[in-house]
Amino acid sequence: MTMTKLTTKRFVIRKSLIGKNVVITFTNKKGKVCTYNHDEVYNTNKERFDNMKCFQKYKSYTCTNNLPTFARKKVNSNSWLIKDYAKVESFNSPQI
């Protein structure tokens, strides 16, 4: 299965990306590179997202400054990683 790599300016979970096997990367305001698997974060916190008014109304949740506390797994001082995707064979890299 091909995994899509998406670069954004902020943490985002979107209904339109659920089940699309997307890995999202952004750099926060402190310069830390944050990378996470969209589906893994959504599935782990599905009930939380589904109960958010913004997610119900706008079909997305964003966090501009950093990964939300509930989505963090610290790897080292310069990056945050939710899912290791180093073994993925191919990426499509749309910019948004």
Q: Of residues 44 and 92, which shows the higher confidence score?
A: 44
- At 35, which helix (H) or strand (E)? strand 33-37
- Strand, helix or coil for residue 1: coil
pTM: 0.74
pLDDT digit string, tens, across residues 6-31: 999 999 999 999 999 999 999 888 88
Beta pairing partners, 37: 23
- At 56, which helix (H) or strand (E)? helix 53-58
Cα distance between residue 22 and residue 18, in whole Å: 8
Check pLDDT > 70 for residue 93.
Answer: no
Residue 73: band (very low, low, confident or very high) from pLDDT cuts 50, 70, 90:
low
- The mean pLDDT of 28-39, rounded to a whole number, is 86
